[in-house]
Chain A
Amino acid sequence: MSLHKSWMIGLAALSFALLAPTHSAAQDDFAGFDLEALMDVEVFSVSKKAQSLADSAAAVYVLNQQDIKRSGATTIPELLRLVPGMEVARLDSNAWAVTARGFNGRFANKLLVLIDGRSVYSPLFAGVNWDVQDTMLEDIDRIEVVRGPGGTIWGANAVNGVINIITKSAVDTQGTLVSAGGGTYEHGFVSVRQGTKISESGHVRVYGKYFDRDHFENTPSDSGNDEWDQGRVGFKAEWDLDEVSTLTIQGDAYKGEILGSITDPTPTPPYSSFNAEQQTDMTGGNAVVEFRRWLGDDNVMEFKAYFDSTSRGDDGGFSEKRRTIDATFQHNVALSDSFDFIWGLGYRLNSSDIRSDFAVSTVKPAEQNPVYSAFLQGQLSLLDDKLRFTVGSKFEDNEFTGFEWQPSARVLLRPDETNTFWGSISRAVRTPSNAEDSIRTLISVVPQAGLPLIDPALAGLIPFLPCATCDVAFGFAGVDSYESEELLAYELGWRGKVTDRLNLDIAAYFNDYDNLRTTEVISPLVNPTTIGFDAANLLNQVFLTSANNMEGEVYGAEIAAAIQPTDNWKIRSGYNYIKLDLELDAGVTDPASLGFEHASPHHQVFAHSMVDLPANFSLDTILRWKDRVSDHDVDSAWNADVRIAWKPLEQIEFSLVGQNLATPSEREFGNNVVIGNANTRAPRGVYGKITWTP
């Protein structure tokens, strides 16, 4: 399994996890590999030592296709519940909050997510729109999760973690695969993939999928009105141009809609309207080109470019059209037997087109934000590769904060075949989003007397409001003075084989944050040009704005255990602990931002048991528990998923999955006042599925 080059010489970089051979092996030992596995081995290894997961000086965890399939999960964020240390909370039927190591939220802004090297981190609100991050789950090769900073390779916003979703190569997805099913919450879904040879050295696959999902519950008898559906098509084509060059072209396109219950502010009394079924339409697509050429053993260069277009908009209201162009070059070379070097250059252009409405508006409706980057990293191997040092940095220039650098130093010690120790010090930054820079979000319109109830500090503003008798429009406003959030992270880890049937992986971290975001009162704003604010009775406008006046110390530990009690029974389990200690700068009051101290479950644990039964049956059970989250008023809770599958023939599999089986199911997260969204509760769900590979 392969994060081999991963960190070190590179998680092979800038989205190039494809550098990772699917099957790497210590000491080039390929015994026991079948032909298909052998065909996956790179003859020109990226490093002369075939590196594996056990070689990464970072907290790395990999979900492979078997874990994915056997979990019964139908979405990528639900799969991430099976990664130790990940915080996953479902807000409603179509929204999630996902992060690692704290600061979770619908727009959790410290986790970078890439699909086949394409960043899906949105610079609008800084976060990931999980509702449109999907692919054919059967064609995912693995999901590599790095907890902790990855800025040295991946750049800005890889602060608390990086998730790489890597799909299989076209060669490995030849032939037909059809899966379809449905049930209670999963109304119906179908996926079709066809892979074929297109030339003597070229392969392609095309796929299409569609799903229709039910709503969650507001109360046991009340619908959450948050059902959704989505269709998606895509392809991946690969050519071996000659012995040492490959070309990959891939792309996807999707279209879908989600519903949600939203309370929006309005320009006229009573200043708010409840829309029980607000519809949001999403469309998007991307195209990726990648060229790799081996210049010899341990010497590979790679060029990659992609175009990504996403568009989402509320019916008649706020909408965003975003186009991203990204191009990177990377060169990976062994300068001597003991020194590997990697360097790269990158350019990205984010362009956005925003249509404002009364609640969400921008002073920069058409934006173009370029980012230039370069990185270099060296790795020195000593003592017969038992000791390894890696030092490197990314250098970036962005429009909001200018120059940023994100260095890291890592050391890995492998005294014997069963133990690996590692440690690291790294710096990472989270750069401002368009929202923090220039977007205004109106939360509500309140009477003047209501202001102190929102924040006592607001009482002092009342005498300065321009209209003594008017109500007050209250919200957030972006300002260009907002700076990057900074992290200096210290990590230590050990992984090892305790017995033939028990593997452990333990990581501990101390994160020292500075310039964390606070939301603070700025002086009353009067800006009649802002959309909707020309109504005379809304002359009073009070905005909170983003500032960098909090620092924090976060520490925690994560344990992953892989247990094999018998030959046909495997358990993968995880536990994590986290404690956040945040402090506002002198004179700043911002109870909301301090709330992150108790917005993560302090303890989480899960176990995924996989049993192979006789007669080609298999049984999977997932148990998970989360500690209470007091800031969101969420109690500690158990939950469980069960999957039973039967494979009467090599070509056919039937499975039955029960999801969220614990009762009563509760909300996992507090409501989001900013977007006026009420979170809902997951119902129990059952679905059946048939998978056919003729």
Chain B
Amino acid sequence: MTHEIHRGDRRSLLRRLAALCIVGGLLVCPPAVQAESSKEYKLKAEFLYNFAKFVSWPDDALGPNGEPIVFCLVGDGPIHTLLDELMEGREVKNRGIQVRAIESSEFLSDCHVLFAPTDTDELAAPLLESAKSRSVLTVGESDSFYDAGGIIRFILSGGRLRFDVNAYAASTVNLKISSQLLKLARVVQQ
């Protein structure tokens, strides 16, 4: 895709950093560069919560009034706990929020938002395929996830978190993304 000037995910960045540390010499290297900073994922969790506010699901996708909006996390791990804590007690569209970790497509029918962290690419691929026939807001971090039809991708740019939106993919599953959200996106693919 021509619009992608930000190739490479966080890991390749870390590799480059490691190389810089070894070769560079001049600059002091950080004692430990952690692959998953909790700050980064706290931020991403807040973004997810905000995405949900600016996306409209078709009426039948959300279940009866009072049913929660379900955020599904591909894979399990520390991010699950973090998401659980952050979403507790919050509401979107007058509904509570539930966080679930899923690993296979059979539970996908309950999900409204699907978030695939970078290191879950393999696990996420079949889930993403199934999600294409449902009104699920798919959010990922890797190029492969986005290229395969994910709706939103996080991008680390200039030290800040940005996101790209594939508006076409959203419309094919009857998700309406508010113009407010599109305005803030780095790249919108129509």
Answer yes or no: are A and B bound together in one complex. Answer: yes
A-to-B contact residues, CB < 8 Å? 28-31, 33-36, 38-45, 50, 200-201, 238, 240-246, 292, 294-301, 331, 333-336, 341
Q: Which residues of A contact B39 (CB under 8 A)?
A: 28, 43, 45, 50
Docked CA distance A244–B20 (Å): 14
- Cβ of B159 < 8 Å from any Cβ of A? yes
Docked CA distance A416–B159 (Å): 30
Closest-CB distance, A291 to chain B (whole angstroms):
11
Contact partner, B5, options A200, A295, A297, A298, Cβ 8 Å: A200
Q: Which residues of A contact B40 (CB under 8 A)?
A: 43
- Cβ of B34 < 8 Å from any Cβ of A? yes
Among B34, B38, B40, B155: residue with most chain A CB under 10 A: B40
- Cβ of B33 < 8 Å from any Cβ of A? yes
Q: Which residues of A contact B30 (CB under 8 A)?
A: 295-299, 333-334
Q: Which residues of B contact A33 (CB under 8 A)?
A: 46
Docked CA distance A294–B37 (Å): 14
A244 near B13: Cβ-Cβ < 8 Å: yes
A38 near B5: Cβ-Cβ < 8 Å: no
A-B contact pairs, 6 of them (CB 8 A): A31-B46, A43-B160, A238-B158, A240-B162, A243-B6, A297-B34
Q: What residue of chain B has the Cβ atom nearest to residue A36's Cβ? A: B184
Contact partner, B157, options A41, A240, A297, A300, Cβ 8 Å: A240
Q: Which residues of A contact B102 (CB under 8 A)?
A: none
B50 near A34: Cβ-Cβ < 8 Å: yes
Q: Which residues of B contact A50 (CB under 8 A)?
A: 39
Beyond A201-B6, A242-B5, list 18 extra A-B contacts (CB 8 Å).
Answer: A35-B54, A35-B184, A36-B184, A39-B184, A41-B43, A41-B160, A43-B160, A43-B161, A200-B5, A201-B5, A201-B157, A201-B158, A243-B6, A243-B13, A243-B158, A295-B17, A296-B17, A296-B29
B42 near A30: Cβ-Cβ < 8 Å: yes
Give me the 6 closest cross-chain CB pairs, A-B, nearest first: A240-B158, A246-B158, A240-B157, A243-B156, A296-B30, A296-B33
Chain B's interface: helix, strand, loop or mixed, by majority?
mixed
B-to-A contact residues, CB < 8 Å? 3, 5-6, 8, 10, 13, 17, 20, 27-31, 33-34, 37-40, 42-43, 46-47, 50, 54, 86, 155-162, 181, 184, 186-187
Q: Which residues of A contact B20 (CB under 8 A)?
A: 295
B38 near A28: Cβ-Cβ < 8 Å: yes
Q: What residue of chain B has the Cβ atom nearest to residue A197's Cβ? A: B186
Contact partner, B161, options A41, A245, A292, A301, Cβ 8 Å: A41
Q: Which residues of A contact B187 (CB under 8 A)?
A: 200
Docked CA distance A355–B156 (Å): 53
Given contacts A38-B50, A240-B158, contact A43 B43 (CB under 8 A): yes
Docked CA distance A335–B31 (Å): 7
Docked CA distance A41–B124 (Å): 28
A244 near B158: Cβ-Cβ < 8 Å: yes
A30 near B3: Cβ-Cβ < 8 Å: no
Contact partner, A42, options B13, B31, B160, Cβ 8 Å: B160
Closest-CB distance, A203 to chain B (whole angstroms):
10
Closest-CB distance, B46 to chain A (whole angstroms):
5
A295 near B156: Cβ-Cβ < 8 Å: no
Q: What residue of chain B has the Cβ atom nearest to residue A343's Cβ? A: B28
Docked CA distance A225–B162 (Å): 53
B50 near A31: Cβ-Cβ < 8 Å: no
Q: Which residues of B contact A43 (CB under 8 A)?
A: 37, 39-40, 43, 156, 159-161
Q: Which residues of B contact A336 (CB under 8 A)?
A: 31
Closest-CB distance, A256 to chain B (whole angstroms):
35
Closest-CB distance, A393 to chain B (whole angstroms):
19
